[in-house]
Copies of this chain bind each other. A is one copy, B any other.
Amino acid sequence: MPRTITRLLARDIRMPTSESKAGSDAMHTDPDYSAAYVVLSTDAGDGLSGAGITFTIGRGNEVCIAAIRALAPLVVGITLESIIADMAGFWRLLTGESQLRWIGPEKGAIHLATAAIVNAVWDLWAKIERKPVWKLVSNMSPEQIAGCIDFRYLSDALTREEAIAILRRQHPTRSAREKEMRAVGYPAYVTSVGWMGYPDQQVRALCREALGAGWTRFKMKVGRDRDENIRRAALMREEIGADSLLMMDANQAWDVGEAIEHMRALAPYNPWWIEEPTSPDDILGHAAIRRAISPIGVATGEHAANRVIFKQLMQAGAIDFCQFDNCRLGGLNEALAVLLLAAKFEIPVCPHAGGLGLCEYAQHVSLIDYICVSGSLERRSVEFADHLHEHFLSPIKARRGRYLVPEDPGFSIEMHPHSLDRYEYPHGANWRAK
């Protein structure tokens, strides 16, 4: 029996994280971690629904809700089977809508909205198959995975045939890596010790706690004040020791020349990478920074809008680490495209996470990368932040610096009904009380 999508519900969910400065950085001083939350219902009568989110940091979440509602007529009334039969076609239906594409194309609110809807479809599909999304994809043939990808604008860097060849290379050994992941988990690094707005004592205490729990990879925020950056880097190194990895994140604070100067000053603290040293749109700028500060790695991606930007970051030799965000890209279909581009260019993917639900998404995508696409863990690490997981029905589990493999059906993104009700903006109990 075909299953028709009968309803798309979009809810504006905001967590008041700005009160604790969790998530604060050089450019985003007061984030309220938020989700434009999508629920797809069907006529199947089996109680299964698809959940998807896009992540924002508060104000503007309502703009994503408006964009989701603008896309909804493309999804409501069609069958899940017709979507699954042509996943790439479905993706282009959303991203290529002849009027809506004007307000992107493939960027900003409309692309964030696309992510929420596309990933809700994956969640629904995986629940029906009673598999976690990573497993659903791991059971697909190379041709089926490639069939999820819209190769428009990629063919000068990656053709469909090349993508299939990459996937075939890892196909025979998928089950060994799946077994390994179930045994040991996927490597991770921790961000939530080093938010910009945290006082020194809190950073020290969190570093000690994380070290004690087995973490060996840490990220700190840096910004425009050179002396403050150096002071905090010294503090972090003191706490985590010389052998732990230390990543730094500038969150777009610098011009190209400034990034080079700041990172030369921070080089003695041995950063593994500098993340978002400048504008996320500045491919050539990242390439110039990378040339100047080697061997410090350059990382970016959480604000890179789409596969075309990532294609160029790789073509230009601009990055050592690819950090796409599973809500910024237009859902898993486009994430698969970037995983394949990264495999072709031999760039490790370390997805952006943290926020609200981003860890939940990222674990699936990195498992797909390891099992199906790159077959490698080298220089790879999923971001981890210890916030807000309690709102999810199937929260991530992290132990001693690794994500444990999620086994529940779906994309791990469905939230508790009472969390949705409490934090719905502006009428949920949390916001009414303000």
A residues with a Cβ closer than 8 A to B are 27-32, 56-60, 62-67, 70, 96-112, 152-156, 252, 255-258, 278-285, 288, 303, 305-306, 308-309, 311-312, 315-316
Contacts and interface: CB of A to CB of B under 8 A. Distances in A.
A58 B99 contact: yes
A98 B59 CA distance: 9
Which of A31, A96, A98 counts the most chain B CB atoms within 10 A?
A: A98
Contact of A283 (B31, B58, B312): B312
B108 A110 contact: yes
A13 to B, nearest CB: 15
A291 to B, nearest CB: 12
Which of A31, A256, A308 counts the most chain B CB atoms within 10 A?
A: A308
A322 to B, nearest CB: 16
A308 B279 contact: yes
Nearest to A284: B312
A282 B59 contact: no
A104 B103 CA distance: 11
Nearest to A54: B103
B316 A284 contact: yes
In order of increasing CB-CB distance, the 7 nearest A-B pairs are A108-B108, A156-B256, A59-B99, A58-B99, A109-B109, A66-B66, A60-B103
Contacts of A112: 103
Contact of A153 (B65, B111, B282): B282
11 contacts: A60-B70, A63-B66, A63-B110, A105-B280, A107-B107, A107-B281, A153-B256, A156-B255, A156-B256, A281-B308, A285-B312
Contact of A309 (B31, B106, B109, B281): B281
Contact of A96 (B27, B60, B282, B284): B27
A288 B315 CA distance: 12
Contact of A59 (B28, B63, B100, B306): B100
A29 B182 CA distance: 49
Given A28-B101, A282-B311, A282-B312, 13 more contacts: A31-B98, A32-B99, A60-B100, A60-B103, A63-B63, A64-B103, A105-B280, A108-B110, A153-B278, A153-B279, A156-B285, A281-B305, A281-B308
A284 B315 contact: yes
Given A155-B257, A284-B283, A309-B281, A60 B110 contact: yes
A67 B61 CA distance: 10
Which of A58, A60, A70 counts the most chain B CB atoms within 10 A?
A: A60
A65 B309 CA distance: 27
A385 to B, nearest CB: 16
B56 A102 contact: yes
Contacts of A311: 282
A109 B63 contact: yes
